[in-house]
Amino acid sequence: MGRSVLSLLIRAIECLPRQRRAIFLAARVEQLSAQEVACRYGVTPAKVRNELRKAHAYCEQELLHAHAGAS
């Protein structure tokens, strides 16, 4: 079950808009701070937080949708 959830999460991340995906990966995989991510991509820390919120919401929605479809 763990691998299927991971596959679904990877697929959801790949479907994110390019900048949102880059911000998400920098913050969550590279573990950069919002300020560091903002500097890297030329956006504000508030934009980083907003993009992360949207990325998390999308990934959660996709996982819940997949889970509901499997039931």
Domains of the chain: 2-70 (1.10.10.10)
43, burial (CB in 10 Å: exposed 0-12, middle 13-18, buried 19+) = middle
Name, in order, each residue with C-beta under 8 angstroms of 5's C-beta and a sequence gap of 6 or more. Answer: 63
Does residue 48 surpass a pLDDT of 60? yes
pTM attached to this predicted model: 0.88
Average pLDDT score, the chain = 93
Cα–Cα distance between 17 and 15 in angstroms, integer? 6
Mean pLDDT, residues 6-17 taken together: 96
- The percent of residues in the chain predicted with pLDDT above 90, rounded, is 83
pLDDT attached to residue 68:
79
pLDDT attached to residue 66:
85
Does residue 56 surpass a pLDDT of 70? yes
Mean pLDDT, residues 32-37 taken together: 98
